[in-house]
A and B are shown apart, each in its own frame.
Chain A
Amino acid sequence: MVPAANDPRWQRVLTSDSDLSAASLATKILVTRLRREARSDPSSISGKISELRAYFEKNAFAQADIAGF
């Protein structure tokens, strides 16, 4: 189950530098790219959250990574 878009975990993971060592490679790389893009354009955060949610909705293998957010 992927948390709703307004769940604070999404904003938190994309605006922090938290270590996601337990997550899959794919999640770490994608989150890093989205963090960088959100930092350079903070107004884009909603779009980045949508993109991250879409990745988890499409990829069941990665959903366990959300527990680390």
Chain B
Amino acid sequence: MKNTMMSVAEAAEKIEAGAVLLLAGSEEALGQLPKGKWIGGTSVYFVTETGGRVDRENVFVTEIERATDARAVVYEGEDLPNLTMNRFDNGLSMILIPAFSKAHSEFAIKGAEFPGLFDQPLMGWITGVHLEEIGVKTPKVFDGATGQAHEEGAAVLHVALNDGAVADLDILNLFEQDVAADKISFSEDGFGAKTAMVNGEEVDFAAYLTETGVDTQLPLVANYAGMMVNVSFQSVDADKGVAFYAPVVAGAEYHIAKPTGDYAATFAARATGEGASELSCNCILNYLYGELEGKKTGNFTGPVTFGEIAYILLNQTMVRLHVKAAEQAAVA
């Protein structure tokens, strides 16, 4: 795959040439593009070859060169659980969902139960806006087939891959559970919690976090059979409780994460592979807390997002997708 920051005019040329594309950019930039085989999502934060930056003019373009066909579909409301329908026999699906939408909540809480979810790679992100424009502008997704922007629903690009091509979906999560720290669990799924079980005792969760001085720039981490899954803190309020950027799952065992140290340096040390030819997205919280403006994340470039998707919703994680020939996969 090719990843390039380019002008609207250059992206338009690619679209008109029939390329299968995943796009990220400001609403104004994406709104200028012609119809074609693409979906797009709003973001103005990017990690590029020259480092992290805000860019409202250009669009980040990922071209899936091994694609033989693609179809864009917007799924919303009762149709959302059907998002794996209309797939090609050999392929993958890209998904973009606007932050703060009903589709965002529903996918986060119910997505792991959607039929066929695991049958092909599903990779994508939650679209956003400039942090200073939250409440002023709404995150959006664009259906390239119609050119329409949507504040609701999931824009999915089902992609057919040529014979022998395989898609490899993985994550890089720098956060590990601090298993020496308190064991935390919740009685209900949700994006918020007023109480939690801490080492078996029910506590007022906001009060617990404040009294113990937990660094809420670090996420809660659950262990999914060896995959570390983060839930990031959005806010801690004595009256309203604690809000998260992804739902906590009832019955899952969480620990607060260990600090990563210098995020960019730790990332560069742990990131392996040919990042330049992979599609990746990284979390806005990593961009902010890791001070990624002006800094690179190895060879990995891509949009900075309000949530990441590798089958399910993730937080403070980099998701990476590589489409390669089957013989390359076998050798690896």
CB contacts (< 8 Å) of A59 on chain B: these are 118-119
Chain B neighbourhood of A25, CB < 8 A = 169-171, 227, 310-311
**Contacting pair B119 A32 (CB below 8 A):** no
CA A29 to CA B226, docked complex, whole Å: 10
User: Which residues on B sit within 8 Å (CB–CB) of A12?
Assistant: none
B113 touches A29 (CB 8 A): no
Asked if B112 CB lies within 8 Å of chain A CBs, one says yes
Measured CA separation A55–B225 after assembly (Å): 17
Contact A36 B225, beta carbon cutoff 8 Å: no
Does A7 lie at the interface of the complex (its beta carbon under 8 Å from any beta carbon of B)? no
List the A residue with the shortest CB-CB distance to B311: A29
Interface of A is mostly: helix
> A20: nearest residue on chain B (CB-CB)?
B225
Encoded as 1 (CB less than 8 Å from any A CB) or 0, chain B from 108 to 143 comes to 000011000011000000000000000000000000
Q: Are B225 and A19 in contact (CB-based, < 8 A)?
A: yes
On whether A19 and B171 interact (CB within 8 A), knowing A25-B310, A59-B118, the answer reads no
Which single member of B118, B170, B226, B251 contacts A40 (CB below 8 Å)? B251
Query: Judging by beta carbons under 8 Å apart, are A20 and B226 in contact?
Result: yes
How far does the alpha carbon of A36 sit from the alpha carbon of B119 in the complex, in Å?
A: 21
Which size class do B's interface residues fall under?
A: 10 to 19
Interface code A7-39, partner B: CB below 8 Å = 1, 0 otherwise?
A: 000000000001111110111111111011001
Q: A30: which B residues are within 8 A, CB to CB?
A: 112, 118
Closest residue of chain B to A33, judged by CB? B112
CB distance from B220 to the nearest CB of A (A): 15
Q: Are A36 and B311 in contact (CB under 8 A)?
A: no
Partner of B227 from the list A18, A28, A40 (CB cut-off 8 Å) is A28
In this complex, what residue of B is CB-closest to A40? Answer: B251
B331 to chain A, nearest CB (A): 15
* Cβ–Cβ contact B113 & A33, under 8 A: yes
Contacting pair A28 B118 (CB below 8 A): no
Distance in angstroms between the alpha carbons of A35 and B225 in the assembled complex: 10
Q: Which residues of A contact B54 (CB under 8 A)?
A: none
Q: How far is the CA of A23 from the CA of B251 in the complex (A)?
A: 23
User: Please, what's the 1-or-0 string for B220-263, where 1 marks a CB less than 8 Å from any CB in chain A?
Assistant: 00011111000000000000000000000101100000000000
Given contacts A26-B118, A29-B311, A33-B112, contact A18 B251 (CB under 8 A): no
What is the bound-complex CA distance between A20 and B112, given in angstroms? 18
B11 in the interface (beta carbon within 8 A): no
B184 at the interface (CB under 8 A from A): no
Chain B nearest CB, measured from A51 CB (Å)? 10
* B312 interface residue (CB < 8 Å to A): yes
Query: Which residue of the partner chain, among B225, B249, B252, contacts A28 with CB atoms under 8 Å?
Result: B225
| Candidate in B119, B226, B311, B312 with the most chain A CB atoms within 10 angstroms | B226
Given contacts A19-B225, A20-B226, 20 further A-B contacts (CB under 8 A): A19-B223, A21-B226, A22-B226, A25-B227, A26-B311, A28-B224, A28-B226, A28-B227, A29-B112, A29-B224, A29-B227, A29-B311, A29-B312, A36-B249, A36-B252, A39-B251, A40-B251, A59-B118, A59-B119, A62-B118
21 example contacts (A-B, Cβ-Cβ < 8 A) are as follows A18-B225, A19-B226, A21-B225, A21-B226, A23-B225, A25-B170, A25-B310, A25-B311, A26-B118, A27-B118, A27-B225, A29-B112, A29-B118, A29-B227, A29-B312, A33-B112, A35-B225, A36-B249, A40-B251, A55-B118, A62-B118
